[in-house]
Amino acid sequence: MSEREVIRQRARLYLEHEVDDEDRAELTALVDRDDDDAATELASRFSGRLPFGTAGIRGLVGAGESRMNRAVVIQVTYGVIRYLLDRVPDAAVRGIAVARDARHRSESLQKEVAAVAAGLGVSVHWLEGPTPTPVLAFAVEHIGTACGVVITASHNPPAYNGYKVYWENGAQIIPPIDAGIADAIDTAPWPDEIERAPESSLIQTVSGIDDAYRSAASSVRAYVSRASTLKIAYSALHGVGQKTFIELMEQNGFSHLYPVASQAVPDPEFPTVSFPNPEEPGALDLVLAHAKANDCSLILVNDPDADRLGVAARGADGDFTVLNGNEIGVLLAHHVLTTTRVKKPLVLASVVSSRMLSVMAAALGARYEDTLTGFKWIANEAMRLEFEEGCHFVFGYEEALGYTIGTVVRDKDGLSAALVMAELASTLESRGETIQDQLRYLSERFGVFTTRSKSVTLDGPSGAARIDAAMAALRSQSVTSIGGEAVETFADLALEERMSSNVLLYDLRGGGRVAVRPSGTEPKIKFYLEVVGPDARSRLQAMEDDIVGRALS
Catalytic amino acids?
154
Beta carbons within 8 Å of 334's beta carbon, 6+ residues apart: 360, 364, 438, 442
Instruction: Give the burial string for 536-551 (b: 16+ CB within 10 Å, else e).
Output: beebbebbbebbbebb
Q: What is the DSSP letter of 426?
A: H
Classify 398 as helix, strand or coil.
strand
**One-letter amino acid for residue 11 of the chain:** A
H, E, C per residue of 234-277: EECCCCCCHHHHHHHHHHCCECCEEECHHHCCCCCCCCCCCCCC
Q: Are 337 and 363 in contact (CB under 8 A)?
A: no
* Separation of alpha carbons 156 and 544, rounded Å: 26
Q: What distances in angstroms separate CA 133 from CA 76, 129, 239, 272, 505, one per listed residue?
A: 19, 12, 11, 22, 30
The three-point CA angle 52-493-279 to 5° equals: 65
Q: Are 137 and 148 in contact (CB under 8 A)?
A: yes
Classify 395 as helix, strand or coil.
strand
Which residues, in sequence order, are bridge partners of residue 413? none
Q: What distances in angstroms separate CA 353 from CA 59, 364, 369, 411, 521, one per listed residue?
A: 26, 19, 12, 16, 18
* Separation of alpha carbons 538 and 71, rounded Å: 51
Q: What distances in angstroms separate CA 533 from CA 167, 449, 494, 510, 530, one per listed residue?
A: 42, 7, 30, 8, 10
Which residues, in sequence order, are bridge partners of residue 489? 507
Beta carbons within 8 Å of 19's beta carbon, 6+ residues apart: 70, 71, 74, 191, 192
- Closest by Cα among 77, 98, 132 to 307: 132
* Separation of alpha carbons 234 and 243, rounded Å: 11
* Separation of alpha carbons 402 and 309, rounded Å: 7
* Separation of alpha carbons 12 and 88, rounded Å: 38
Is residue 143 exposed (0-12), middle (13-18) or buried (19+ Cβ within 10 Å)? middle
